[in-house]
Structure 1
């Protein structure tokens, strides 16, 4: 009997572990068997009762092909309540989200009978699984090679028809843009839907595309969803360019049921990059980076404050990267450039200060031998340094810091990159690495590397209100035996909690992290 009690206590401590750290508390849920070894996490969300809903796509076969979608529902104690396999082959997936007690799957399909592209939504309650299908938008067009422009940063306008979908961070609404061009016909429409699939706006944007083609990258909405604010590149069609000019400029477009406003971000000698719109109360801001020349290197942080109706720029700031930042990133190396920064998160304090985080991200391709003796093209996804910055309420830079890391993957990149959470002026970064400790580059610089082990440690990197950095290992690979999909948690700010999905092979579990 004594041995049974000891065994029971050991299982309780490891499976339902509840460990206390200096800054976080974490709970590791029970491991469950999973029949789909190969899958991708599409959505993770709260069920409204403290539980969690997971949506994945899965792949099977000797040559892996997408075969359907798998939904999992957990309760507040991280216990698996139900699973559902929605078998669906050859579907052109766009996005997924969980709202209103239902799972939503968005697809773009071509209807050959109607000769039109159709945005279709498959949805089902996750308490009583029964998927239904409906078409929310139909656009007449001949079929093209790649209608859905997934790469917002390098759009192709020559195919005749192109479309893209942008969700806000809360997944409360989304915008669909459609650009159709055939001979003299040149049409661009913007449609806005809320999460319940109600169409809020249908706007004819065709006048603006007579001179420019638009590749929208980011979006935000007014609180009542009556206005959508899209930001992206506007490519000039016929303008002659000097050697110092670019063929595009960043613009913001506001669209509502009653009309639109357009604002370009053009300042001589300053080239904005990776701009993101955000509301600070009733104030409309747009933040990002800028370059001093037309190539893709970044020299600092750009800040714009705009009128939310007219989009007139009320104030703007260009903050160059500090010497401390450049030392963090490059040490004493000279002639190094900063580029390929992509926004990850942004927080605004009670006093209006802005904390935002970005990541150095790029892809590379190469050919390698396959099992049949042939050659295959392989795409690798690089998630490198973290950039974190803090701005005053007026847009002046307080500090910017660089956290050195290097990660690359050929497969599911949910395990790479990082997630960030801000509380009490301190930003917490969660990264997953097989290394036991970061590499010490100098007295002021450390490097987190991916490592080679199958098991992963979770490190917590902290930047306090003054930009001072420290770190600690918070979840050991001996505690969490499955790697966490560290870049795609569900974040509940009301509870200061992050929910992570962990999976490897045929095993899966949830891990809840609370920032104390």
Structure 2
């Protein structure tokens, strides 16, 4: 049954209307079967003839082993014109092979990969190059011997490879470096730097040490938006110095930078958070969170700061970003109009929940700090989120997308996401009752809840913020069928979600999008206009679908979103055009 609603909530007043216009065009491919069950769209490109190229990863199982990529060309009607199976095969002496990034550059597809060669005793990074005619060549980018890597610090490619095998990698090109000790989570950092307010005693020295010598090591790749250059960063853990091995390549795979970047200040601890390739392809931009022992003695304000660095082959320039009396767990870096914009969510020292959005604008050449804003969430947002219950708090915020309007306003799309662990029950349940499966183990729930939207002006000050209530979770670390994909088109923000037939009505007239079984989900679209008003519409009923669609893994080309549907080995491609 089709449904179409509009919702306008202003403080305590709530009214529901039938939406009149969310025009969408739905197109589906024919059903098809792959040899492998698990497949995710990693890259989508469209040529001048309107043909679409999709790159899908696939991973096997115990019964059907193998991994690689399907490269497919479709016409305007989603008819498959040409396909190529790029299977990843390595001899036994090439261990822990890991794909770092997939992108198109100079009419070729590039699959950047690293592995450890037992015979060479070296880490080798090379580029698998696929031409438009599906011819495959490769080129070595760099290698580091085992001894060279030890000089840089502790690094575990094995740990990175195993972590990748347990996740649905999406090739997000975010530039995120996972260098922070897992022990130092949001709660720990908050207590460390605002402990004097909260009364919590925190072991500040734990920031400088890790339980595992390889914890905090990482390797990542970032391609600039112009597709003229890419960088690779290897983060190592030395326990004393914070180091990165940095490489920069142009679109002809010429090596433009090969340097060892380190923090030489002994009493300063840096956690590298994000790295980006500059638009001109000549520099690498690095964001780090820095700690100094003397800061923990401060009676007022935060006890850490952010440091933004611009690194070239000749020199580097840095800019300090002081967070003052606020806690900012992480920042994300974006380029726009020759400016660097760092955006994050913050909380105040005496308010242990997210309080608003912060934005710092820097000149992309000099790194001069041009503006900084801490914008508290609006009254409208607080009502959307909490209703009359102001004691609730945001448990965790994950950045999803940032868009820029024609007037240089900033649209921030995020999601409340967190992990919950439930201990095993006290009473034993014989495993024989469940076909040999034990029912006494603890359970882990990955939650993907409310949609968070903020609109900032060109300087970074908040115009409005909205919270769309949503409650979804999964017991496996795969959010393919929950969460959302968003797209910005003609000054409107669109969110595609899977949900159930009935939209839940909360207290105070608010609503909440819920979750049902994967194979019984309807596909809905939520439209948010330039003023923050929103309406929603069901665009596909589960009875119309042969397969459920992986709504969080959408691939965007122009004003269209492509979703892969999957039920076992049976699959279908969906195109939604606004």
TM-score range (shorter-chain normalised) is 0.7 to 0.9
Q: Can you list the C-alpha shifts for 1:289-320, whole angstroms capped at 9, x where unaligned? A: 11212997321111111122232212111101
Correspondence for 2:561: 498
Q: Where does the alignment leave 5 or more consecutive residues of structure 2 unmatched?
A: 1-19, 164-175, 182-208, 425-430
SS of the counterpart of 2:380?
A: helix
Aligned ranges 1:86-485 → 2 under 5 Å: 86-88=87-89, 91-100=96-105, 101-125=107-131, 127-130=133-136, 132=138, 134-138=140-144, 140-142=148-150, 145=156, 152=177, 155-156=180-181, 158=210, 159=213, 162-168=217-223, 170=225, 172=227, 173-180=229-236, 187-194=243-250, 197-208=253-264, 210-236=266-292, 240-241=296-297, 248-293=304-349, 297-365=353-421, 373=437, 380-409=445-474, 410-433=476-499, 435-442=500-507, 444-485=509-550
How far off its partner does 1:195 sit? 6.0
Change (3 A) 1:181 1:321: closer
Alpha-carbon distance change, 274 to 60 in structure 1, aligned in 2, over 3 angstroms = same
Residue pair 2:179, 2:218 contacting (<8 A) in 1 also: no
- Per mean C-alpha deviation after superposition, the further-off stretch among 461-470 and 107-116 is 107-116
**Counterpart position of 1:55:** 56
Q: Quick check: 1:359–1:385 contact (8 Å CA) kept in 2?
A: yes
| Structure with the largest fraction of helix | 2
- Give the whole-Å Cα distance in 2 for the aligned partners of 1:107 and 1:92: 7
CA distance 1:93–1:329, shift in 2 (3 Å): same
2:488–2:494 CA contact under 8 A, matched in 1:
yes
- Report the equivalent of 1:70: 69
Q: How many residues end up aligned between the 2 structures?
A: 490
Change (3 A) 1:323 1:21: closer
Long gaps (5+) in structure 1: 1-19
* CA offset digits 1:307-363 (Å, max 9, x no partner): 222322121111011121111111111322224212111111111111111111223
Q: CA 1:185/1:330 → structure 2, altered by over 3 Å: closer, same or farther? A: closer
Higher strand share: 1
Distance of 1:232 and 1:252 partners within structure 2: 6
Distance in 1 between residues matched to 2:89 and 2:397, nearest whole Å: 36
Counterpart contact for 2:400–2:414, Cα < 8 Å: yes
Tell me if the contact between 1:455 and 1:481 (Cα under 8 Å) persists in the aligned partners. Answer: no
